[in-house]
Amino acid sequence: MFAMEDTWAESQGEGVTVAVVDTGVDASHPDLTGQVLEGKDFTGGGNAQADEQGHGTGMASLIAAHGHGPNGASGMMGLAPKAKVLPLRTIQDKGDKFLDETWSAAVRYAVDHGAKVINLSFSQDGGKTANVGREAIAYAQAHDVLVVAGAGNDGSVAVDEPAALPGVVSVGSVDKDGNRWVGSNHGKGLTLVAPGVDILAANKKRAQGYSLSTGTSDSTALVSATAALVRAKYPDLTAGQVVNRLIKSASFLGHKGLEAPDDEYGYGIIRPYKAVTMDIPKGPKEGPLGKLQLSSDASSKAGSPAAGDDDSSTRAKKKSSSSSRLLLIGGIAGVVVIGGIVFAVVRSRNKRGNGGGPYGGQGGGPGGSGPQNTNYAPHPAGPTSHGPSSPNPYQQP
């Protein structure tokens, strides 16, 4: 598994706020108490600290869960246990439409309320991001906020938007052996991969408060958490320079002969410890992925601070060209009995295909010998086609 004890000696995400644009976050979960800010509900339901579906709570726990009980010895730990979570609820029920107008308003709110990382564990429903969504992404980039999004769960050779947009960190999934999960979208524009199969997460909808899930949602949250660790450790770095560290510290592990960016693994599997400890030059302020370029008129809207105060009910009056779907839930595989601290990343079962997995063995922790990526190229343009999508955002792959 990730060498988190060593990583936490360097950084725990302190002082960094990660916005979770999702179904809300259950602030009463014992592993999240004190970590969840008030946030905002964009659905008209009123409370961003409520979560009827459990998806947003799971993502928040992978980022910032801190365990509970004496000395935090019970429950689970996220990768950045001292980061704060800003919950932004953009969907309540399974049947709700997840519109660009809604999530884009949440992105702008996140920027205006101090988030340094924005987690988008959702993808476009087989289409392109509407102008209002692109403007919101550009607004975040213009204000030095890192945006992380899931590549999609269709197994398609096409990264979904908004992950495919320039400057967005697009995330795919690997299994316990470090191999691409079969349902993970891939292709040009993929930035990084992270564990995404049988991942432990908080879920108060289950009797014991935890469950296992599979999907690029989970991988996205782990990358957002790693970005929070880097931003806490190196507060002087721009968002682009944080991406540079994530890319340079990633590894293909046992996959030999790959050249970054690879269509299946991007620049490699994240390594949180290496991301906060490697000697990596800052690089250009813009970073390796560039930024989303808009027309001059759209750019002026994207850069307007007043736009961030826009409520979703106002934006919803504008014509919508697309809707989105949450990336989960490759299924809740079962409830896990917790004994002592259980880290957010599921432990390897010591099956080492292709020379090593992301949780141990070659390159897995401090002193690991796995190869690292030392070069990068500009972020490719997003794909023009997408794989099949389900009208139900919670349908299992």
Burial 144-170 (b: 16+ CB within 10 A, else e): ebbbbbbbbbbebebbbbbbbbbbbbb
How is residue 175 written in tokens? 């299994």
Q: Is the peptide bond before 195 cis (omega within 30 degrees of 0)?
A: no
Q: Please, how many CA atoms are within 13 Å of residue 122, restricted to the half-sphere of its CB?
A: 31
SS3 label, residue 194: strand
* From 104, 184, 213, 217, active-site residue: 217
Active site residue 300: no
Give the chain's end-to-end CA distance (angstroms, integer).
Answer: 25
Is 55 a catalytic site residue? yes
User: DSSP letters of 51-78?
Assistant: -SSSHHHHHHHHHH-EEESGGG-EEEE-
Which two structure tokens, joined as six digits, stand for 234? 């190196």
- Residue 142: alpha-carbon gap to chain centroid: 19
Could you identify the residue written with the tokens 């949450």? 326
**Per annotation, catalytic residue among 26, 51, 55, 224:** 55
Candidates 22, 26, 100, 198; catalytic one = 22
Name residue 6's beta-bridge partners: none
**Catalytic-residue membership of 296:** no
The set of residues, in sequence order, having a beta carbon less than 8 Å from that of 112 and lying 6+ positions away, is: 305, 308, 309
The residue to which tokens 């709700």 are assigned? 96
Amino acid at 2: F
CB 140, CB 166: distance < 8 Å: no
Q: From CA 51, how far away is CA 90, in angstroms rounded?
A: 11
Instruction: Give the CA-trace dihedral at 382, 386, 390, 395, to 10 degrees.
Output: -60
Which residue has tokens 């869960």? 65
> What Å distances lie between residue 125 and 3, 263, 333, 353, CA to CA?
36, 21, 24, 34
User: Catalytic residues, which ones?
Assistant: 22, 55, 217
